[in-house]
Amino acid sequence: MAEMLIFGLGYTASRLAERLRSMGWTVRATRREADGEAIAFADDAAVRAALAGATHILSSVPPDDGDPVLERYGALLEDKRLGYLSSTGVYGDAGGAWVDESAPIGTGRRSARAEADAAWRARGARAFRLPGIYGPGRSALERMAEGRAHRIDLPGQVFSRIHVDDIVAAVIAGLDAPPGAYNIADDHPCSQNRVIEEASRLLRLPSPPIRSIEEAGLSPAARAFYAENRRVANGKAKRVLGWRPLYPDYRAGLAACLACSATTSPAIASRQPAAADSDQR
């Protein structure tokens, strides 16, 4: 019987756990603190017991000074199928060019992530490199509805993104795939401004004004995000995993998010009729 242990039961990993259980998997998970869904990461006895029965391991825990999962439990990962949720931030700034898995890593702001990515791959893991993640309850729709959205004056700035359910599908497709890195991104890199404009159209709200980074008052983390510019190629995942994104661009993904907003996003639930507009595009 297939049994998964997930380190770090966050937004994406929770949806993966739900999908795997629906497929008949036994799924256990960790969080910083124990709750009804997960055991505490620091509870060595409970984690060791979960590891003993697991056939597959997935880590979604970000690095700090090092990778906390490998540092604490790395010796217990032998003979397991390993997966790691990494980031396309490992590629750094590409000046808007396309990057695939052959591109060098470790030159950008995510140097710790690049080191963790390499450490997991050295153990035979499948490293799923993810761009900006969005999905139900966590998308440009919520930022628009709550007045937190920005349009930034950076001509030529391009990003990739991925719907959370497409990550889940890619991880499942890759559980027993050859080890290595896989970019999991949609087919349509574009500026963040276009995503915000589509969210405003769906919600029938005016788009926020275009401002400079200084005028927008962005956080240091957000400013660092805008300091990088790249398009992420997903061809390897399509070829090797047989994966295709269900939401190949932000329009399809945002329309799907809006369709389920009644249960995931109270802030935009009252605007549900706008979903009909997107279905007719």
Residue 175 inside a domain? The answer is: yes
Structurally, the chain folds into a number of domains equal to: 1
Rounded CA-CA distance 161/192 in Å is 10
Residue 4 inside a domain? The answer is: no
CB 62 within 8 A of CB 41: no
Residue 160 inside a domain? The answer is: yes
pLDDT, tens digit, 9 for 90 and up, residues 23-72: 999 999 999 999 999 999 999 999 999 999 999 999 999 999 899 999 99
Confidence (pLDDT) at 276 = 34
Residue-number span of the structural domain to which 219 is assigned: 80-279
Confidence (pLDDT) at 281 = 26
Confidence (pLDDT) at 270 = 60
The CATH number given to whatever domain includes residue 238 is 3.40.50.720
Rounded CA-CA distance 37/100 in Å is 36
Confidence (pLDDT) at 269 = 66
Q: Can you list the residues of the chain whose pLDDT is less than 50?
A: 273-281
Rounded CA-CA distance 203/217 in Å is 24
Residue 185 inside a domain? The answer is: yes
Residue 109 inside a domain? The answer is: yes
**Residues of the chain by 3-state class (helix, strand, coil), percent to 5:** 45, 20, 40
Confidence (pLDDT) at 221 = 82
Residue 247 inside a domain? The answer is: yes
Distant-in-sequence contacts of 48-55, Cβ < 8 A, 24+ apart: 48/73, 48/76, 50/5, 51/5, 51/76, 51/77, 51/80, 53/3, 53/26, 54/3, 54/4, 54/5, 54/28, 54/80, 55/1, 55/2, 55/3, 55/4, 55/80, 55/81
Residue 93 inside a domain? The answer is: yes
Q: Residue 11, CB half-sphere, CA atoms under 13 Å: how many? A: 13
Residue 24 inside a domain? The answer is: no
